[in-house]
Amino acid sequence: MAKKEIRVALIGSGLMGRTHSNGYKRIGDFFPELEYRPVLQAVCSRNEEKVKAFAEQWGYASYETDWRRIIERDDIDAVDICTPNDTHAEIALAAAAAGKMILCEKPLARTLEEAKSMVDAIEKAGVKNTVWYNYRRVPAVTLAKQIVDSGKLGRIFHYRANFLQDWTISPDVPQGGAATWRLDVDAAGSGVTGDLLAHCIDTAMWINGGIKDVSAVTETFIKERVHSGSGEVKKVGIDDACIFHCHFDNGSLGLFESTRYARGHKALYTFEINGEHASIRWDLHDLNRLEYFDHSDESIVRGWRSILVTDSDQPYMKRWWIPGTSIGYEHSFIHQAADFFESLQTGEPCSPTFKDAYETQKVCEAVLDSAASKSWKDTGVEWEG
Ligand SMILES: NC(=O)c1ccc[n+]([C@@H]2O[C@H](COP(=O)([O-])OP(=O)(O)OC[C@H]3O[C@@H](n4cnc5c(N)ncnc54)[C@H](O)[C@@H]3O)[C@@H](O)[C@H]2O)c1
């Protein structure tokens, strides 16, 4: 049967531009039954030489250097926003007004206000949307959700997550500009809260339900850095580190920590869930494994099991190789791309939607408000996802 083509325009050709392009290119081979297929119609970023080279390397049919051209073009069905956070709202609002489907990188926006305008825009336009909180689609993480949903853990008492990095310890790392926009509050909106904890919060609410209230502390260890745009030394406005604790709607307690100052850790995203009958833990550095402790095991053999999530009856794995052989980081994006195209077929939302990501943004905003005011904050989250 002929496939229905969705002409995709990628805006931003950096790290995420590559992971998404790889996702689009591989779903035809590994999800052959999908009725819809992406066509790499255009890529956009500001440097002509670089975007032209990217288009040639990845097989995009055309390129642009101004994202507004992408919105104007009537040969684009879906816009994929892979640019720094300060551009998400403006591009999404324009894309929604033009009736285009939108896939947007996380965090949805810099602020709750921006995020709300984006939710309003996609609801008004009625366009299909998703946000790339890709860790949900790591098979071991999806399996963790299935195990919790099955009730095997019983009542949940604790949810604990860390996201630790070490790449900004040197005071010589600038803020702003191509590789270091994450340190510039105007471009990023916040530091580790929006960049890293947002992932932890999305996974946590997906698995364990809404976060009701938070108490947080943040720190900016290096107070001033050179701005690579102006060359001037400027105050650093982002949070370098953040720790918060919280109550979930289900009565469990949450504890979250993220920093870019944990020497020795590159991207140590971990979570652990402790329930009445069993516990689960996962670690991005060993992403095919899920550790599971079941208190109902006979006591002489009771202990943490290490489950290699590669069997064909485990999430997504029937798509790949044979039991015992691993997949990696890039597959989470391939899975999300496939789920998005499948959602066009089923008519179901492709979660996390803008609305789901807006709820995550509420938690991020409450965390930053709590740290600034040194007080507990209600999040106002209405979790449905
Ligand atoms: N889902 C994830 O795990 C994950 C991981 C990394 C980054 N992200 C998110 O993805 C987004 C992009 O991050 P990245 O690491 O790919 O950044 P990056 O710096 O590697 O790439 C950004 C790209 O956007 C382009 N760009 C910047 N401003 C633009 C503009 N006005 N118009 C057109 N192009 C423009 C740059 O030229 C570059 O190609 C951010 O929102 C980030 O938070 C998500």
Assign residue 58 the CATH number of its domain.
Answer: 3.40.50.720
- Determine the distance separating the centroid of ligand 1 and the alpha carbon of 34, expressed in angstroms: 28
29: left (phi over 0), alpha (psi -120 to 50) or beta: alpha
Residues 130-144: tens digit of each pLDDT: 999 999 999 999 999
Q: What is the pLDDT of residue 375?
A: 98
The pLDDT assigned to 343 comes to 98
172 shares its domain with 321 = yes
Q: Is position 383 within any domain? A: no
Query: Residues 283-307: what's their mean pLDDT?
Result: 98
- Please report the pLDDT score of residue 80 as a whole number: 99
Domain check: are 237 and 294 in the same one? yes
**pLDDT, tens digit, 9 for 90 and up, residues 3-43:** 999 999 999 999 999 999 999 999 999 999 999 999 999 99
* Predicted pLDDT at 2: 85
Alpha carbons within 13 angstroms on the beta-carbon side of residue 354 total 28
Range of the domain at 256: 137-378
Q: Is the beta carbon of 15 within 6 A of some atom in ligand 1?
A: yes
Distance CA(101)–CA(48), nearest Å, equals 25
The amino acid at residue 27 is: I
- Residues with Cβ < 8 Å from 126, sequence gap 6 or more? none
Count of Cβ atoms closer than 10 Å to residue 136 Cβ: 22
Q: State the chain's mean pLDDT as an integer.
A: 97
- Ligand 1 binding pocket includes 71 (Cβ within 6 Å): no
Burial (Cβ within 10 Å: 0-12, 13-18, ≥19) of residue 99: exposed
Q: How many domains does the chain have?
A: 2
The pLDDT of residue 226 is 97
Same domain, 220 and 260: yes
- State the Cα–Cα distance between residues 184 and 209, nearest whole angstrom: 32
C-beta separation of 241 from 162 below 8 A: no
- Report d(CA 135, CA 51) in Å as an integer: 27
- Is residue 385 situated within a structural domain? no
The answer to whether the CB of 21 is under 6 A from ligand 1 is no
pLDDT at residue 334 in the model: 98
Bridge-based pairing of strands 78-81 and 63-64 is unpaired
* The ligand 1 atom nearest the CA atom of 195: 43
The pLDDT, as a whole number, for residue 179 is 87
